[in-house]
Structure 1
């Protein structure tokens, strides 16, 4: 019976009841050791009824073994693996060591967990119980929380119990101390009636409402203590908490066991397999030796496994032993755990037994790290590299391994850990070439280059983009990988001087090569460029992916937005087929920007939202900042000023604090678009002036905002000398119709009447060749306004009607209203009802995404893989969307969407 937990029990039961109706839920239980987390999980499992229960308990000794906890939890469901999409099934097989590493992204494993739970549920709910989650390995925890955050309509409940809360992005329930009534009832049941009231009160005071302490402290009392002659078990002086008192109580009971039993318990505490045969094999003991511990209620044996009654029993058995005995226990386990299946455990036991530098053990940990990396257990790989570094006799090996630890942590998105590792290396002199006995370590040294990349990644994500470039430029003889990342960081910083320094390094490194980097150097240096090198590089599977992305981005910078969209789609497909979710966020950003430039607001917003979800879960704060600016621009064009400001302000807060000048410029441009759409040019000009920080810099750096700057200046009666000329220089290098249209429009806004009309006409012609879209509609709006103010009402009406139709089709409400106002100014009577309301407008954003993909012919499984949902949730969204759209089947969706 549970005392004092009625409210908590009710909350957990409600999750289970909702799961029986098809809903899903996740919750994190947290509280100190012994507070009752396990008891609540036990009670819920006992009341699960028809629900399928998956359960595991984290073990401290397994925290560095990637996916160990996940395998333990999902083992009963692995017969459903063949029902998963191929890449997801491969990801789980790789994670569990059932298949060779395939280079899949770590987040694909989380998506596979979500799909597997959905398949395992079938017609009955699934209850996933993860106890002692504070000791679950990071790879497993990442996959579980990734799945938990996306649970929706699968009938799955996931509960994670841990001691201290962690930022997992899930609802939390904290277990507090029991109240006085529950304490009295629990003591009465477990302490017996013979305990004198003063002793009972002392036990209650020391337990502080902790249920396990209330049960175990009375058991630890001697006869004199129970009679009241001596005080109850005192608190340990260094940590007087209930859990410490309980651990001390368990320790006291362990000390009463025979010496041989205590020795076997120590090995069991150091072991993480839970297999009785392993413990007995390492100690050469018989199972009879463990009988006193079983009789004392400290362990439970079932013939093949040994389970400690509570993690505090394990901790007491291990920590009460001397260092020498603990070392012996780990050595015995390392000698017992033979074979490839136990290679990682063997390496960690040998590391735990090491008392000084040991290159042989360090190499074993290196191999464990490589295996973890192949399974995308980057956090475990980082830990193995770090421990190997500590065991390295050679300073150069120590530097190499510590660098690898930081790189793996960066790949895992653990940037605070990256920072800590780098600081540790700085403090210990690990990065000092002299300390490593290598005076030439900085020259063409792979370790130095990798260290620079790690420092730059940390700076770009959590520090300063400017410093990221500076770090990369310190590498002597930098190769394409370093220079590509330097270009990327310099673009983010938006500083012409930095870009020029990177250009100079590129020129020095490859003076004759017409590759991506030299083409970029030309683009940002003002030389003439062609799209050929960029297009070829973006499509070449043999080129570094980072270089392929920069090549695709260059197409966008050259105003070849259709090519940028196509290339972004190509790269995104590569990421999805290979499970590269981290790069997906970057490719989705480019794809969203291409959609936005082409005037496709809904696809742009949908794509950017997907990218932002990935970036947030992957800890990619830098990319999330940019994606927020794209979403802010979409919101501005759609007329959602409040959302635009919220997103832009969040982006600016990050960009200004991390020297992301280009992201800040995009955020200011989004705010300016909101003002321009409302016809309020003066505040728009203020934001655009803030965005245009380097008028003398390369025109391509500011090309995305210069047309807006020209419009805001013209409409507010201000002068911004040279703006049109900068756009023209960019357009000349681009040669694309979209760029030529922008240049002609900017000149038209600043021209005298005699020249303006020809320029507007040219801008419209170029815009039509570019494929139309919002920019052509904006050109027609400005041209129509110019015509109306010259009382050419008939010409103005024709142009403004075309603009209005485009704005309404795109869903650009404020711009459509501007066009209507201008049309009314010509004397035309028009229906004021917006045509932008569509059947899709009745759907939630998630339903809208599902419907679009279903209309395109994708199956529920394919949609689930793309949107990071379970197939069952996709079906649930379609079930809710069909009545809203007035359709009865998927076959009718295309017709509804085509009627927009």
Structure 2
């Protein structure tokens, strides 16, 4: 069931099953050598087996094959030859053309002849039936190749299965293919190990996300994350859960998200095996379903009271029913939705009894005990609320922000006192913010407004609401909360005002609106410089006016960096401050340290805002492989948490990388998605970056007039051009000049560069100085260009931006060659080529090598074979790097928020690409450069 909604996705498209479809296509190629005519598709219920069979039928039709189909039914397993009759029904006329004994035997098997019931003549009669089917299929395939499709083979009657197995063993040289699907735990014994199997694994995380994206109402935020977690890559579960929650608000409570409703279809798939089980077994299963993994030993111990044998028989029956697996004293549900089905099928009274029993069993573990007591009550209870608050405090000290926030939210709902309820919700906001969950923060603040009229608490709630809005695309709504709050408190509570402007600064940067920017700067001028923590002062002043007082901003940054042992929040904010000031190496260091802080706690990978910022800084610093992995992770986590702006910024990084590496088709698709559906007036920073990427794509396609037109959009067409964005526009000035030369627009471009120099006089960073000198060199009269090239390249600090420096070196070398200074040109070209090759910037490698040949340098033929590592996806590379360090699948999954099974699947795909067979070979396959 890997298809999306019919309105969004062509029915023929199957998501995330490319290897499986490729294997099926090989089966349909009846001319292949040493082929087996039968392929058994094996998978869990809902894994998409039927969808693959449908795709095979369509492919067969396109190839001109005739398709015969049948499907097993649980109620017909005892009917002799029921499946075979269904399969051959379209060939009734051909059956009567068979040789007499075979015809009579087959018709007798179907009860359609007076020859008597099948099998009355003994075993030879069964052989005649088998030969009749073999003859029938062989004759049919002689006229038209044939595909036989059998779905739900585990429910096909034994006689039909015997015939199919007999026939399949004798069709190797015939243009006949047999494709059968069965559940993994119920493979018919007739299809022995001699028949190849195609195991259908859970969908990989990226494919699961794409499947959710094409649903009529794609889930977002914590709901999306929980659907992904609970479905565990099962396509049917993904589709059904998305449909079941289509009308649910994105801000569902965590408890509600944990209790996702099961549709009738899912109930049939995952809960039908509960029916008929003894009460003792169902109760034992409820103990396991109510327990989290840490509680499972206690749950097993508590459940031993179900019978005199310590509950062993109950568990054996559960395993036999296909609900759980038993291994070394550990019980695991075969699928997360089986656990949900068990839990939701039980009435509250039964669940309460189990939770209370677990609370007693966990008396020595106050955290787990508190959660079970909370699950066993419906009424407010301050004792339980206080216990949960203590649990939250312990989780917070361990860095478990999400767990702590959930505990505080549950404690607030159990709080009898409204003021205490509001206070707990606000404390949860801080934790949810650390977990990167803006929709959650917004829901929590709504609870504060409903619980209290205390002005101080409401002010704090307004601040958190503004932060939550700022983390999404609701930019104006965020500023309409934050800036008035700052204005109302700037004289009476300047710390609150500073926090409001600090949260608003990222929105102002994203929007690039001059009115809001001036309003924020006026407020900052009224806030004393010694108010609040240094990092809170540094960020908003630099973000709102990075070129106005550059030296003062740098002093504030360095003062803030003197604070010992900064936490993840401080590192993130200061990293952003360093980035906006073009202290790129410092920005990468600080944000990388911030990511390490997050990776050491249970919110690992959850802060997509930090990830996308780090990806941009890594990209600008020349760490392109790292930027690709970080951006991919940021985009995935942003989609799961409703951090829309962060996800779009991550797409920009991926698009920019693809463009510079020559994959302009995919880059165009990504940058279009990055800006789709948002108001340009609310996202000038992203719009400016998109213009740079689109301009580079156009230049790569050779459309220089279009490239210049796009890059010219970074500035207005006034006599004194204004930047589209007060910061981001300036970083396209070098590319704009390069496009202008090819489009013969040097005069217009020079006017833009003049305006840039006037506006940034005295405030340009080293990086912008490089870019402006590059632009001046390209636009200057031939005899005046060299001084600008030299000025751009002589400052060693420019090594922080290797790609931009290599671009300038290449253009300088081109200028030198045109003046027949080939010796100097060769040196510059060799330096530029080394950078372009390291970065994988293939179009720039090609341009540089062409220049080298023009300088008389003999180069070896270009290697056609791509590095093995380049064949890996970003997520595969991320997982392989961690595996090469010795981490287990579970440890990698905990770090990347993936299941161990998903990690294993990605490694299974990566090993052949790298040419390795064991984890021990990964370090050598990657090489030292790829491990960091």
TM-score using structure 2 length: 0.55
Matches within 5 A, 1:403-422: 403-404=426-427
Contact map agreement 1:481 1:544 (CA 8 A) in 2: no
Matches within 5 A, 1:329-728: 339-341=363-365, 349=373, 353=377, 359-360=382-383, 362-367=385-390, 369-370=392-393, 385-386=408-409, 388-404=411-427, 425=447, 430-431=448-449, 436-438=452-454, 440-441=455-456, 445=457, 448-449=459-460, 451-473=461-483, 474=485, 476=489, 477=493, 478-479=495-496, 482-512=500-530, 515-520=534-539, 521=541, 523-524=545-546, 526-529=548-551, 531-535=554-558, 537-538=560-561, 540-543=563-566, 545-578=568-601, 581-582=604-605, 585-616=608-639, 620-653=643-676, 656=679, 659-692=682-715, 695=722, 700-718=727-745, 719-720=748-749, 723-725=752-754, 727-728=756-757
Contact map agreement 2:807 2:832 (CA 8 A) in 1: no
Matches within 5 A, 1:870-889: 877=910, 881-882=914-915
Match of 1:741 in 2: 770
User: Over the residues paired in the alignment, what is the CA RMSD in angstroms?
Assistant: 6.3
Find 1:861's aligned residue among 887, 890, 899.
Answer: 887
Matches within 5 A, 1:735-884: 737-753=766-782, 755-766=784-795, 770=799, 773-783=802-812, 792-795=818-821, 798-799=824-825, 802-803=828-829, 806-807=832-833, 808-809=836-837, 810-819=839-848, 835=862, 840=867, 843-846=870-873, 859-861=885-887, 865=892, 868=896, 877=910, 881-882=914-915
Q: What CA deviation, in whole Å up to 9, does each residue of 1:795-841 have, x standing for no partner? A: 378537734762452432333444566778xx767779874767625
Q: What CA deviation, in whole Å up to 9, does each residue of 1:761-804 have, x standing for no partner? A: 3223347964673323322444455567xxx4413785377347
Question: What residue ranges of structure 2 are gaps of 5+ in the alignment?
Answer: 1-16, 21-40, 49-73, 76-151, 156-181, 190-204, 206-221, 246-261, 321-328, 331-337
CA distance in 2: counterparts of 1:366 and 1:532, whole angstroms: 40
Q: What CA deviation, in whole Å up to 9, does each residue of 1:168-202 have, x standing for no partner? A: 9xxxxx99989xxxxxxxxxxxxxxxxxxxxxxxx
CA distance in 2: counterparts of 1:498 and 1:621, whole angstroms: 21
Q: What CA deviation, in whole Å up to 9, does each residue of 1:67-105 have, x standing for no partner? A: xxxxxxxxxxxxxxxxxxxxxxxxxxxxxxxxxxxxxxx
CA distance in 2: counterparts of 1:837 and 1:661, whole angstroms: 41
Match of 1:76 in 2: none
Q: Against the structure 1 CA distance between its residues 506 and 545, is the aligned structure 2 distance closer, same or farther, given a 3 Å change threshold?
A: farther
Higher mean Cα deviation, 621-630 or 589-598?
A: 589-598
Contact map agreement 1:860 1:874 (CA 8 A) in 2: no
Q: Against the structure 1 CA distance between its residues 601 and 654, is the aligned structure 2 distance closer, same or farther, given a 3 Å change threshold?
A: farther
Contact map agreement 1:493 1:660 (CA 8 A) in 2: yes
Contact map agreement 2:684 2:724 (CA 8 A) in 1: no
Secondary structure of the 1:581 match is coil
Q: Against the structure 1 CA distance between its residues 747 and 877, is the aligned structure 2 distance closer, same or farther, given a 3 Å change threshold?
A: same
Question: What residue ranges of structure 1 are gaps of 5+ in the alignment?
Answer: 1-10, 15-23, 48-109, 111-137, 150-157, 169-173, 179-206, 217-245, 255-263
Contact map agreement 2:359 2:368 (CA 8 A) in 1: no
CA distance in 2: counterparts of 1:525 and 1:402, whole angstroms: 39
Contact map agreement 2:826 2:855 (CA 8 A) in 1: no
Q: Against the structure 1 CA distance between its residues 213 and 816, is the aligned structure 2 distance closer, same or farther, given a 3 Å change threshold?
A: closer
Secondary structure of the 2:582 match is coil
Deviation at 1:649, TM superposition (A): 1.1
Q: What CA deviation, in whole Å up to 9, does each residue of 1:311-353 have, x standing for no partner? A: 99987874799xxxx99x7998799678353665567657865
CA distance in 1: counterparts of 2:627 and 2:725, whole angstroms: 27
CA distance in 1: counterparts of 2:383 and 2:655, whole angstroms: 54
CA distance in 2: counterparts of 1:851 and 1:380, whole angstroms: 26
Contact map agreement 1:668 1:691 (CA 8 A) in 2: yes
Deviation at 1:689, TM superposition (A): 4.0
Contact map agreement 1:269 1:317 (CA 8 A) in 2: no
Deviation at 1:510, TM superposition (A): 3.1
Q: Against the structure 1 CA distance between its residues 683 and 880, is the aligned structure 2 distance closer, same or farther, given a 3 Å change threshold?
A: closer
Contact map agreement 2:876 2:907 (CA 8 A) in 1: no
CA distance in 2: counterparts of 1:841 and 1:310, whole angstroms: 41
Q: What CA deviation, in whole Å up to 9, does each residue of 1:721-765 have, x standing for no partner? A: 653245446876566543322222223344445543422332233
Deviation at 1:518, TM superposition (A): 4.4
Count of paired positions: 664
Contact map agreement 1:492 1:661 (CA 8 A) in 2: yes
Secondary structure of the 2:449 match is coil
Q: Against the structure 1 CA distance between its residues 800 and 353, is the aligned structure 2 distance closer, same or farther, given a 3 Å change threshold?
A: same
Are 1:165 and 2:241 an aligned pair?
yes
CA distance in 2: counterparts of 1:828 and 1:211, whole angstroms: 73
Deviation at 1:464, TM superposition (A): 1.6
